[in-house]
Every structure is written in C-alpha cells, then in structure tokens.
Structure 1
Amino acid sequence: MSRVIQYRKFGGTEVLEMDQAAEQAVEQDEVRLAVKAVGLNPVEAKTFAGDRRLRAVEVVQRLIHPGRWFEPAASRFPRGVARDFAGVIDAVGPGVTGFAIGDEVLGTLRGAPGLGSKKGALAEELVAPASDVILKPQELSFEVAASLGVAAQTACGAFRQIDLTAADVVVISAASGGVGSLAVQLAVHRGATVIGIASERNADYLRSLGAIPVTHGEGVKERVLAAALGPVTKLLDCYGGEYVKLGFALGLPGRAIGTLVPSPGAIIKGAQFTGSRHAQPEDLQEVVNLVANGTIKIALAHVYPFTLDSVRAAYTEQNTGHVRGKLVVSLS
C-alpha cells in the first residue's frame, strides 16, 4: 500500500484527503516510479474546486465520448491531484525502451488530472506512460526536476503559438511566478527583449532574470511603453484579468497576444488561448537541458513535506497569487 492525495467532491483545500492505494501493475508502454517530489501548479486548485471553465472541458469530453453521459457521478471520484513529478523507476512495462529500473526521471502527466481524469502525481507510487517521462540529469535535485513539466510545456507552447523571435519585444504578466519566471528566462535565452510585469518587490528579481521590470496596477500601459523604448511586438498573459486588454491597448493584433487564462471576450477579439496545448514532446527536454547547464534558474519558493496538512497549506499559498517561483512537495 502507498499513500495518495485524492478528493471525492469539488471544493476548497478541505476536500483533499490522504488515502491508501494498492500497488499498481504496469501495462504496455508504462513505467512505475517511487515518487520523490511533486511540483504544484495554480490550475490544480481550480481543478479540485470544480472551476466552471474546467467543467466545460469535461462536457466537451462527454460530447466526444457520449458513453460518459451514462457514468454515475460516483464513478468519476476519487480523483488525484497534481501533474508534475520526479522519482525513481521501480518497474518497466512491456514495450518500454530507453528506461530501466533505478533510473531517476521526471515528467508531467499530460492532460491530467483535469476533470476527466482520476490520476494525479501526489502519490508515493505513480504509474505513467513512458512518453510522459524523461531521464533526470544528475545536476538537478528531485525538487527542481519536479517543478519543470507544466511550466516548461506552457512557456514553450505559448511562445510557439505567438511565434516569438529574437526580434521581439515581449511583455509577460505575472512574470515572477512559476510559469512567468521560466518564460522570462526562456524568452531572454531566445534573444527577445523582455518586459516583466510584477509587484514592485519583485523588480530586482526580474532584473536578475534578464527582464526589464514594470510594476502592475494603474498606469501600467504608460510604464510599459516607457520601458520598451520602442514598439512592443508580443504579449504573454500568465495571469488573466485585464492583460489581454493591455495587449490590444498597446496596438498588438490578436495573433501576437497569448493568454494562459481563457475568457470568451479575449478569444472573440482574436487573442490566442495557449500554453501546454501547443507544446511539443521535445519542449520539456529543451528546458531541462537549459536548467541543467545553468542557463535557466528555478526558484523554489517553498518545499513542503508530504502530509495532508502541508499539501493543503501549499495550495492555500498557491491560491494567494503572490508566489515567487515554484511550490514543491517533497516525498524524500
């Protein structure tokens, strides 16, 4: 038996439970690993809260797979929590090549634990498709490795969708957060000029990442224009709210504005709802290599132990929206 964090109804952090799970067998093209660390992401709290936008995704899935309409509500629970993980392989399924028992790996459960999936990474034992896993460089701790999956795929996918190039001047909102701080460094690495929007207390941190810091709030458009010293050509919104409107106010066409937070108004105006949906399999490996060689630095805001109270506290901190870097749960 192994411990796992699950939930049986939608709600706040109080719905999270610590349960016992039987040992899982590996099937074709799967690996099983002893989980050492799990990275947390803001979307996960929205998922177990039953965010209406994410529930709409589940409705779409039922339209694609009509049989799901006849599933009883109880069959859709319990559900797991979190996507990003790092650990050590302890079993390899048929058809798997390139991995062996004892390998240290990292990965992300693609498309999980969205409202249509029951699997999550917050577990002592995890079975995952081999395609969701890559080898962990020795230079990376399990905690740093576990923080990379969603952020890497989100930043790479978004930059692919808005066609970021070295010639761009790109504005990134929530630039000190888990996704934003990685996106800033990736854009700088690719040669772009980066203007990062965050709180005033994060200005020096953004400078250390290679961005030009701009404080959020009233007058942000004027501050962005003053910092840019020329035309802004792209905008990546990692926060939501008014930042898509800021992109249009800066004179950008919809195709040059990417947002990680969908809203009907933004999409109707032509902004790109993007992120990991536009990622490619090689994106995570690219970012892992850049972190391993020191080009991209990952700030771990807080590492929590694997207890129910600590996991609830971690998501409570995540929900403040003021986390600098990544939150990680350690199972080591």
Structure 2
Amino acid sequence: MKAVRFEKYGDIDELRVEQIAKPQAGPGQVVVAVKAAGLNPGEAAIRAGLLHDAFPASFPSGQGTDFAGIVDEVGDGVDGWSRDDEVVGWATRSSHAEFVVVPADQLVRKPSNIAWEVAGSISVTGPTAFAALRAVQATEGDTLVVSAAAGGVGVLVSQLAVLGGLTVIGTASEQNHDFLRSLGVIPVEYGEGVVGRIRDVATTGVDAFIDCYGHGNVEYGLELGVAPHRINTITDFDAVERHGVKAEGSAQATTQAVLTELLGLIAEAKITVPIDGVFPLDEVRDAYRDLEDGHARGKYVLGLDVVAYPGENEGERAGTDEGSEQAT
C-alpha cells in the first residue's frame, strides 16, 4: 500500500509517499481502507522535531491520526465490526495511508449522511474542542473568547459553546468574520490592539478564554481579567508553567463516546466542519504547506477515492452530504 513516511526530523520536503506492506489485523484489531484522513498542526510539529521530548519519533515514521474509511479485515476476538462497515477512528502516526490498523475500540460508526472528508477530519480537533470547553468550566450565559476561532479546533469550540448558550467572541482575520457571524460568533480582528477590541464587544466582561493559537493569547486572557483556571491553551505549553493555566486537549477526551456525540451533532447539522481543501495522498507536501501557512478555515484533508476540490474556501464542505455546498 501507499503510506506517508519520513526518515528524519525536518521540513515538509522530508515527507515521502512510499510503498510499504499492507497491515494485517491481529487479535482485537481492525484494518480499515482509508477514505479520508485529516491533517493537524501537531503532526507537522512532530515531523519537525519540535515535540521530540513529549512525542519522540522512531524512524522511518508514519504520520496521521484522523481517518474515516471502510472496514477491510477484522481480527480474532473482535465483536461489533464487520467487513464493509463505514467507520471513523483515530490512529497513532499511521492514518496517512491507504490502509490503517487500529484496536477495535478506536472506531465508531460513521453516520451515512456525513461526507467522507468531514468524517475523516475530526478525531483530533473534535475531542480537543470538547476537552478545552470542559476545562474552562463554561456554562450558559458566560462570555467566552476563542483565539483562531475559524481554525480546525477553534471553529468547533465556538460552535459547541454557542450550542451551550454562551456568548462567543472569536479572534480571526477579517476574511473569516462573515463566516463566524453565520455561526453565531462575534468576530474580532486579531493582532495588535486585540484586547481593546475584545473589551469593546464584551460589554459584561470575559469569563473564560480558549487559546487555539499561542503567540501571547494566554496573556491576553489574563489581561482581560480571566482567572487562570478558566483559561485553556492547546498550543502554548510554556504558559501553563508561567501562569498556571490549563492545557487540556485530545488526550483528555478522545473516546468512542465523545466522538460519537460529535458525529451526531454534525449529522443533525447542529455543528459544521468547514474543509478548506482536499488533497490526494501523493500531494501530501502541498497539503502541509497550506496547513502550515496558518490561515486555514477549518481542516485540510487527504482524500483517498474522494473527489478533490480547491482550497481558498471554494467549494467547502459543511459536514453532511446534504449541506456540503453551504459551509459559510
């Protein structure tokens, strides 16, 4: 099968698409033919060696966590899954490939009306958003600020918070403001002076802050008067030591129950997952170049047997097949 690999830490050019042995299902395992697999900034950081202390790579290393696909083989002792079942799951540095093998309890059933590229893109961002919102103890009536609110995690945090009855202020570039308004989010331009702009719209103050971008956003939350235990960052881990804020993410919420709940919300069109671009597996370098540019609206996805379409927010997918033409 084809799979994305890298032989050493480095930049995007270290990524290769190689022929390797197709995995086989051992006891308790399932092999899935991958239809779509999402890209995440953390994977780029691992490839670059920036997370070696926490997540060391052994070489040659595979890549990828998110995926959705069709069950190809079921190992001994597995109940509940059969060949040709449509599933969503999570892997350990191996989903950017034509086939992936995972424990049976790392799969959930894919709702039939969710587009493959959407289903294959949420196993990291969805639980991360769920955990971050839970960490800041957000309750109905609170005002929550989300940095990078149009990004892969931020857009899900924002929508879950709106569903929960919170007032959500999202920082983003001007080009994403109308999109955020369509989700019920109050948009604010990021960059110099952002604290003042947030204060202008947060007429009753700010209760909680979720940082999806880093670059000083934790300090912005503190400047706004948010208590450290109600600030969560998914990227600025140094700020956790400096200020005592939280850093809860996918590790605290990646379960079958959480993923099933999120897929249900997408299937019912209660939340949307914008897809900024779908790339063939062979174009994984181009996909990561777009991801690492830092201006995604939602997710980039590797599509295997999924019709590709351009990024730049043209032809975005919203979530369900029925709603896939109307992401904004």
TM-score normalised by length of structure 1:
0.89
1:179-202, Cα deviation, whole Å (9 max, x unpaired): 111111111111111000001111
Q: How does 1:191-206 map to 2 (within 5 A)?
A: 191-206=165-180
Residue 280 of structure 1 and its aligned partner are, at CA, apart by 5.0
Name the Cα RMSD after superposition.
Answer: 1.3
Equivalent position amino acid for 1:192 in 2: L
Relative to its length, the structure with more helix (as a share) is 1
Q: Corresponding residue for 1:157?
A: 131
> Which of 63, 67, 82 lines up with 1:85 in the alignment?
67
Equivalent position amino acid for 1:46 in 2: A
Residue 267 of structure 1 and its aligned partner are, at CA, apart by 2.6
Q: Corresponding residue for 2:268?
A: 293
Q: Corresponding residue for 2:158?
A: 184
Q: Corresponding residue for 1:323?
A: 296
Question: Is residue 57 of structure 1 aligned with residue 46 of structure 2?
Answer: no
Equivalent position amino acid for 1:216 in 2: Y
Q: For the residues of structure 1 that align with 2:42 and 2:233, how far apart are their CA atoms?
A: 14
Q: Corresponding residue for 1:242?
A: 216
Q: How does 1:111-150 map to 2 (within 5 A)?
A: 112-113=92-93, 120-150=94-124
TM-score normalised by length of structure 2:
0.90
In structure 1, list runs of 5 or more residues that go unmatched.
60-72, 114-119
In structure 2, list runs of 5 or more residues that go unmatched.
306-328
Aligned residue for 1:57, secondary structure, equals: coil
Aligned residue for 2:289, secondary structure, equals: helix
Q: For the residues of structure 2 that align with 1:190 and 1:58, how far apart are their CA atoms?
A: 34
Q: For the residues of structure 1 that align with 2:112 and 2:254, how far apart are their CA atoms?
A: 24
Is the alpha carbon distance of 1:146 and 1:280 closer, same or farther for their aligned partners in structure 2, counting shifts above 3 Å?
A: closer
Q: For the residues of structure 1 that align with 2:222 and 2:108, how far apart are their CA atoms?
A: 39
Q: For the residues of structure 2 that align with 1:278 and 1:106, how far apart are their CA atoms?
A: 19
Q: Corresponding residue for 2:316?
A: none
Aligned residue for 1:23, secondary structure, equals: coil
Residue 298 of structure 1 and its aligned partner are, at CA, apart by 1.2
Equivalent position amino acid for 1:87 in 2: G
Residue 262 of structure 1 and its aligned partner are, at CA, apart by 3.2
Q: Corresponding residue for 1:117?
A: none
Aligned residue for 1:252, secondary structure, equals: coil
Q: Corresponding residue for 1:33?
A: 32
> Which of 311, 315, 319 lines up with 2:284 in the alignment?
311
Q: Corresponding residue for 1:230?
A: 204
Residue 213 of structure 1 and its aligned partner are, at CA, apart by 0.5
Q: For the residues of structure 2 that align with 1:269 and 1:128, how far apart are their CA atoms?
A: 38
Aligned residue for 1:194, secondary structure, equals: strand
| Higher mean displacement: 266-275 or 232-241 | 266-275
Contact residue 160 and residue 278 of structure 1 kept, 8 A = no
Q: For the residues of structure 1 that align with 2:100 and 2:254, how far apart are their CA atoms?
A: 23
Q: For the residues of structure 2 that align with 1:90 and 1:244, how far apart are their CA atoms?
A: 44
The 4+ residue runs of structure 1 with deviation greater than 4 A are none
Equivalent position amino acid for 2:245 in 1: A
Contact residue 287 and residue 300 of structure 2 kept, 8 A = yes
Q: Corresponding residue for 1:45?
A: 44
Q: Corresponding residue for 1:256?
A: 230
Equivalent position amino acid for 1:330 in 2: G
